[in-house]
Copies of this chain bind each other. A is one copy, B any other.
Amino acid sequence: MAASVDFWFEFASTYSYLAVSRIEQEALAAGVVVTWRPFLLGPIFKAQDWNDSPFNVYPVKGRYMWRDMERLCDGYGIPLKRPTQFPRNGLLAARVTLAGGDAGWVPPFVKRTYRANFAEDRDIADAKVLGELLRDVGADPAAVLTEAGSDAVKAKLRANTEEAVRLGIFGAPSFVANGELFWGNDRLADALVWAKRTA
């Protein structure tokens, strides 16, 4: 069986931006297949009585996070422009991702959308913006956005988020390799090693 990892990400999450920008190359080099699993942190945070990003609830931690992001993006050579709104609602972007299924444009769309949010300060909650990003990656905006609003896709996203809770996921990005949970961009390499070792 091929070594594989489930990649759990939330469009609002800063550290997911880092993982999204690295995972394809890293997984390819490691010989690990990636399944892209969008989910929502909102319901998970609400269960902990947070109605906002913990980086806003705890401003000292938030200040650190933005500085940490600057350093890490510098190191990876990826652009960062602190968004004027944080967090942005990733609900529609997650549904668009699921509407894409296995289509080849899905990973490029996910990367394009993170860049729009965290390097171009664009509102990824806006269907018009997502339509433009879909066009950027060669997808059909009207067809995909319609599918993204379907009951089937809505149910899929709810199911993803429920599965994340069952897996013990409490933040993003997270990686699951053969049932083993790794949390945070810092654990990507460990997750890939685990996937290989247990394949």
Contact = CB atoms under 8 A, between A and B. Distances in A.
Interface stretch (A63-71, A81-89, A106-114, A151-159): A63-71
B71 A170 contact: no
A48 interface: yes
Each complex incorporates copies of this chain amounting to 2
Interface in A44-102: 48, 58, 60-61, 63-64, 67-68, 71
Given A58-B48, A58-B170, A183 B64 contact: yes
A71 B183 contact: no
Contacts of A184: 186
Contact of A168 (B48, B64, B71, B187): B64
14 contacts: A48-B58, A58-B170, A60-B168, A60-B170, A61-B170, A61-B171, A64-B168, A64-B181, A64-B183, A67-B181, A68-B182, A68-B183, A68-B187, A186-B186
Interface of A: 48, 58, 60-61, 63-64, 67-68, 71, 168, 170-171, 181-184, 186-187, 190
